[in-house]
Structure 1
Amino acid sequence: MLRRVLTAAACLSLVAGCSLSGGGGSTPAEGDHVVTLVTHDSFTAKQETLDAFKASSGITIKQVASGDAGALTNKLVLTKSNPIGDVAFGVDSTFASRALTEGVFAEYASPEATKGAQRYQVDGSNKLHAVDVGDVCLNVDIAGLAAKGVPEPTSYADLVDPKYKDLLVVEDPATSSPGLAFLLGTIGEYGPTSWTEYWTKLKANGVKVVSGWEEAYNQDFSGSAGKGPRPIVVSYASSPSAEIGEDGTPRTKAVLGTCYRQVEYAGVLTGAKNPEDAKKVLDFLLSEQFQADVPEQMYVYPSREGVKLPEAWTKAAPLPTSPRTLPADQVSANREQWVSQWRTLVVG
């Protein structure tokens, strides 16, 4: 995904764990308060923000990255009787119901959640708090479509029109988070029975399927640095903010009528060795100071209300107002079946 490409160098020893706060990654001194934050691979944060948190709280945050959102959720479930950390960040709306059903997270109502995170509450509990929002949408190469004499699509339905034949590249939902989100968006649009008809038409119209976002966006999409052959790609509503020309004009555009909302959550782990400090770290992730860094550090939208977006986002990547969503329990119950059906239908 876009943010993974932009932040991959933020911490080179993710699997082993790295100190994110204080001393530029130095080993915590004896007696320090250390909180282990388990995350997906795309988490990163500004060092000065983390240093300020340590200075005010006395807490050192040690990050342990555990794959993508699905892999992270699986690891948290498998280790719930002996948790691998104190706080976890990165379980998204696709996997949240599973984590809650398995009892991975402890109840804690952060006072910071009332500033916006409560809008994305999964259920009536306070076990998960929304940290960020990322909408998966079609992105178009404005000049690329114009050169072909093809209008910009505005909906899912446009993509099955013959004028868009061989112009779209998508990611495999079995191996890609945005690919899965796009599939869920089509299910939200056409319903749990008719979505297969839509994908049958997409296949007949020459949709290309690749394993992940990096290949789709950086190799096949004509609007990226790779200058591929296809002017329509599944990416993020925030992606156009990274594609602004020297004249200040966005080169790409998100098709806001095709967005599916992903929310990423954090929570205190059940059985955390340091639960009181873990609560303070969760409060920090929801704080105005941390939330202000979220767009440029992780290329997603902050969950907190009133956080000012970077100028490039205001111009090219406004938060979609009417994205599609599906209930978390519905996704959890049907995800594997839907992906299996999709693979049989589209890949064969």
Structure 2
Amino acid sequence: MTSTTATNRPAGHGPRAATRPRGRRRAAAALAGAALVLAGCSLTGGGEPSGGGSGSSAGTLTVVTHDSFHLSQPLLDKFTEDTGYQLKFVAPGDAGALVNQLILTKDSPLGDVVYGIDNSFAARAVDAGVLEPYTSDALPASAKQYADGGSLTPVDMGDVCINVDHQWFTEHGVPEPANLEDLAKPAYKDLLVVTNPATSSPGLAFLLATVGAYGPDGFEGYWQRLRDNGVKVVDGWSDAYYVDFSGSEGAGPRPLVLSYASSPAAEVPADGSAPRTGALLDTCFRQVEYAGVIAGTAHADGAEKFVDFLLSPEVQADIPGQMYMYPVDDTVHLPEAWAAHAPLADKPYTVDPKDVSAHREEWIDAWTRVVIG
């Protein structure tokens, strides 16, 4: 995500109406965050915390997020009631822009606590020293595999995968692809649309999936084959999913699209029947989103409480419907449509976060040279 401006994030990754795939939630989330401020969240920082709860004022806690953060208002109100901290939200952009801004403002921090750093940028944030050491004691057992052991606490996760329009393939008598190799076969020429990894977080995730699958020395050759097979590249998720993809409201010409494993759950018809789309679970890269205490905060106590709050059962249960991500707590009851139509991949592709931090720009540049020219 270089400074991935999320043409996809406001449109492809976060709080839209609970029935929408992860696309239109980013813009909704930004508006929701603004609404929170306008509705009464303090615009100025408070002094040192003086306790909390029972109506006492502990000051203002500034939460820095990517532009798709959204939780139900009663939960945010409950945090203020329990801790005494008023909440102010600052959203500088997608995960890449978020980390960039934390680094640029290190000497004059944007806020007290951050949510939305993902595993594509985690090592960069830690190495830059923009976070205080803190891992929440509330971390559920199922999330410990994602913990960095120091400054970041995993909050949610999701798989970026190729989605398929089952109906299109049935009507055209073409067998569906199953994996990355299939996508490069002549049978699927001109059928796939993806997003640019320089401008889209799902695009970067899919690029990393190919690095994980073919290695740093082999992914370029794979993308050369995709290019020769007519892959279409657009800047943002919403254009890919809502304009080019045949399986959603845009009724576009391409039955294969880069999206999320959770997207089919958002396409369930009103009668509850199976959606016409599905995710190809052998093409996925797992994104993990983290929270952390920002270095230099005067409200470390409140920042730690907010990280703990994000792991509370109530917030974890709210995440699927508000941000279209999976909670890291696997004991949380998922929405019915998710349980039926949004399974996570058993073996998603992964790349070591330190390797991503060291080679992200190099890999994006190589991809651009091969695919865009």
Q: Could you say whether these structures have the same fold, taking a TM-score greater than 0.5 normalized by the shorter chain as the test?
A: yes
CA contact (8 A) 1:18 1:64 kept: no
Shift of residue 11 of structure 1?
4.8
Percent identity, aligned pairs only, is: 51
In structure 2, C-alpha distance between the alignment counterparts of 1:236 and 1:315, rounded to whole Å: 15
List aligned pairs for 1:253-332, cutoff 5 A: 253-332=278-357
Quick check: 1:5 aligned with 2:24?
Answer: yes
Q: 1:289 to 1:81 in 2, by over 3 A?
A: same
Which shifted more, 270-279 or 23-32? 23-32
In structure 2, C-alpha distance between the alignment counterparts of 1:289 and 1:52, rounded to whole Å: 11
In structure 2, C-alpha distance between the alignment counterparts of 1:242 and 1:109, rounded to whole Å: 33
Q: 1:306 to 1:238 in 2, by over 3 A?
A: same
CA contact (8 A) 1:288 1:307 kept: yes
Quick check: 1:215 aligned with 2:239?
Answer: yes
Shift of residue 26 of structure 1?
4.8
Q: Which residue of 1 aligns with 2:249?
A: 225
Aligned counterpart in structure 1 of residue 181 of structure 2, from 154, 157, 180: 157
In structure 1, C-alpha distance between the alignment counterparts of 2:270 and 2:118, rounded to whole Å: 35
In structure 1, C-alpha distance between the alignment counterparts of 2:26 and 2:372, rounded to whole Å: 31
CA contact (8 A) 1:105 1:269 kept: yes
Quick check: 1:109 aligned with 2:135?
Answer: yes
> Which one-letter code corresponds to 1:12 in the other structure?
L
Deviations 1:21-79 (A, max 9, x none): xx954548984532100000010010111122222222222111110000000000111
Deviations 1:208-234 (A, max 9, x none): 111110110010000010000000000
Q: Which residue of 2 aligns with 1:136?
A: 160
Calculate the aligned-residue CA RMSD, in Å.
Answer: 1.8
Q: 1:190 to 1:167 in 2, by over 3 A?
A: same
SS of equivalent residue, structure 2 residue 25 = helix
CA contact (8 A) 1:166 1:207 kept: yes
Deviations 1:88-140 (A, max 9, x none): 01111000001000111101231111443322023xx3210011101100000
In structure 2, C-alpha distance between the alignment counterparts of 1:128 and 1:32, rounded to whole Å: 24
Instruction: Tell me the matched-pair count.
Output: 342
In structure 1, C-alpha distance between the alignment counterparts of 2:370 and 2:84, rounded to whole Å: 54
Which shifted more, 304-313 or 112-121? 112-121
5+ long unaligned stretches in structure 2: 1-11, 15-22, 47-56
In structure 1, C-alpha distance between the alignment counterparts of 2:178 and 2:274, rounded to whole Å: 20
Shift of residue 198 of structure 1?
1.0
CA contact (8 A) 1:87 1:278 kept: yes
Quick check: 1:201 aligned with 2:220?
Answer: no
Q: Which residue of 1 aligns with 2:110?
A: 84
CA contact (8 A) 2:152 2:291 kept: yes
> Which one-letter code corresponds to 1:106 in the other structure?
E
In structure 1, C-alpha distance between the alignment counterparts of 2:144 and 2:87, rounded to whole Å: 24
In structure 2, C-alpha distance between the alignment counterparts of 1:41 and 1:114, rounded to whole Å: 26
Q: Which residue of 2 aligns with 1:66?
A: 92
- TM-score, normalised with respect to structure 2: 0.88
